Amino acid sequence: MLTQLTLLVAALAAGVHGSPRPADVKRATPTVYLAGDSTMAKTSAPLDGWGPYLGKYLTVPVVNKAISGRSARSYTNEGRFAEIEKLVTSGDIVVIEFGHNDGGSPNSASDNARSDCPGSGSETCKSGKTGETVYTFSYYVEKAAKSFIAKGASVVVSSQTPNNMWEGGKYGAGASRFVAYAASSAKNVGKGASFVDHFQAVAALYLKLGNEKTNALYPKDHTHTSPEGGDLVAQAFVQAVGLDFNGTTPLKAYLKSPIPKVF
């Protein structure tokens, strides 16, 4: 009996002072993956997207998989969502943001391989150039999101950033249809997905900055920002997350303090 009691005490002591038991093991730090176009991607001077600056405001690593010129359709067809799917593990977070290159119609003989089928559901089109079946923005985003969630990751569907809203010296706040599509896509995916209206966050930032300062952030065209602009756009995203702008996202737990206040 004494021997059994001695063994039991030793086992309990090992649980306290020795190797931690499985329940006590802390989950590995998650990784944030970014999927998007040139407004999110790392580009060359004098331009830059917002993705390279997001890590400044998070306590976890960020892997930027955004590629210039892509749409939800072309990103899918090139296997880029599939590449992220292979990388993600349970607890990771994927931010998806498209819209700038998704417009137009694929029906033309000059189909650019980026335009999605118009609509926000199960509509399909045929490419006028290749004959391939083309799906909607929502289809591509939702399919990718579900594949990440199936691996235990969380997904943040972010609406596209606005173009220069002070172009021509007058503020214009009209949002493209892909902003609404992004919101509905997150809702359709359901558990594991959340939405951030990055468009409205940046629109509020530009309204606050005014004409001259906003125009200075666009050195070449009305879509692509300077590095300073990319950083501000990243801060607007982080502030939206911190404010639960469209509901709580899993990113909120990994924001550095203080949270930026740019709008």
Nearest in space to 165 (alpha carbons), one of 125, 111, 112, 223: 223
Burial class (CB in 10 A: 0-12, 13-18, 19+), 88: buried
What is the rounded distance in angstroms from the CA atom of residue 171 to the CA atom of residue 230? 20
Concerning whether 221 is annotated as a catalytic residue, the answer is yes
The closest of 119, 227, 117, 229 to 164, measured between CA atoms, is 229
d(CA 240, CA 221): 26
Q: What is the Cα–Cα distance from 138 to 25, expressed in whole angstroms?
A: 38
Q: Quick count: other Cβ atoms within 10 Å of Cβ 19?
A: 9
- Given the residues 38, 71, 138, 185, the one annotated as active site: 38
Is residue 111 part of the annotated active site? The answer reads no
Rounded distance between C-alpha atoms, residue 159 and residue 164, angstroms: 16
Please tell me which residue in 111, 159, 224, 231 is annotated as part of the active site. 224
CB 164 within 8 A of CB 257: no
Active site residue 102: no
Could you give the C-alpha distances from 25 to 21, 22, 228, in angstroms and in order? Answer: 7, 5, 40
Q: How is residue 66 written in tokens?
A: 């955004």
CA atoms within 13 A on the CB side of 247: 12
- Residues with catalytic annotation? 38, 221, 224
